[in-house]
Amino acid sequence: MERQNLTSVTEFILMGVSDRPELQIPLFFVFLVIYGLTVAGNLGIITLTSVDSQLQTPMYFFLRHLAIINLGDSTVIAPKMLVNFLASKKTISYYGCAAQLGGFLVFIVAEIFMLVVMAYDRYVAICNPLLYMVVVSPQICLLLVSLTYLYSLTTALTVTSCVFSVSYCSNVINHFYCDNVPLLALSCSNTHIPETVVFTSAGINLLFSMIIVLISYFNIILAILRIRSSEGRQKAFSTCASHMMAVTVFYGTLLFMYLQPRSNHSLDTDKMASVFYTLVIPMLNPLIYSLRNKDVKDALKSFLNKACRSFKAM
What the chain holds in terms of domains, given with CATH numbers, is 2-313 (1.20.1070.10)
Cα-based angle 248, 72, 241 (whole degrees, multiple of 5): 25
Where does residue 190 rank: exposed (0-12), middle (13-18), buried (19+ CB within 10 A)?
A: exposed
> Mean of the pLDDT values across residues 192-200?
90
| Per-residue pLDDT at 84 | 92
Q: In what order do the strands lie in the sheet with 172-173?
A: 91-93, 11-14, 172-173
Whole-angstrom Cα distance, residue 101 to residue 179? 6
Rounded CA separation 22/24 (Å): 6
What pLDDT score does 263 carry?
55
- Binned at pLDDT 50, 70 and 90, residue 289 comes out as confident
Q: Which range among 41-50, 84-93, 119-128, 288-297 shows the weakest confidence by mean pLDDT?
A: 288-297
Q: How far apart are CA 49 and CA 41, in angstroms?
A: 12
Measuring CA to CA, how many Å separate 218 from each of 18, 49, 54, 243? 41, 28, 29, 14
**pLDDT of 67 over the 90 cut:** yes
> Cα(121)–Cα(125) distance, rounded to whole angstroms?
6
Per-residue pLDDT tens digits for 244-262: 888 888 888 777 766 665 5
279-288 pLDDT per residue, tens: 999 998 888 8
Whether 103 and 72 have beta carbons less than 8 Å apart is answered as yes
Q: Which helix (H) or strand (E) holds 39?
A: helix 24-51
pLDDT of residue 277: 83
Record the pTM.
0.88
160 versus 313: the higher-pLDDT residue is 160
Looking at residue 43, what is its pLDDT?
Answer: 94
CB 205 within 8 A of CB 250: no
Residue 268 binned pLDDT confidence (cut-offs 50, 70, 90): low
- Interatomic CA distance for residues 153 and 155, integer angstroms: 5
5: confidence class by pLDDT, cuts 50, 70, 90: very low
How would you classify the pairing of strands 172-173 and 11-14? parallel
Q: What is the 3-state secondary structure (H, E, C) of 123-181?
A: HHHHHCHHHHHHHCCHHHHHHHHHHHHHHHHHHHHHHHHHHCCCCECCCEECCCCCCHH
Is residue 3 predicted with pLDDT exceeding 60? no
pLDDT of 276 reads: 86
Q: Is the pLDDT of residue 306 over 90?
A: no
Give the residue, 273 or 96, on which the prediction is more confident.
96
C-alpha dihedral over 70, 75, 76, 79, to 10 degrees?
Answer: 150
Highest-confidence range of 92-106, 278-292, 295-309, by mean pLDDT? 92-106
User: What is the reported pLDDT for 154?
Assistant: 96
Mean per-residue pLDDT for 20-28? 90
Q: Is the pLDDT of residue 205 over 80?
A: yes
As a whole number of angstroms, the distance between CA 11 and CA 93 comes to 4
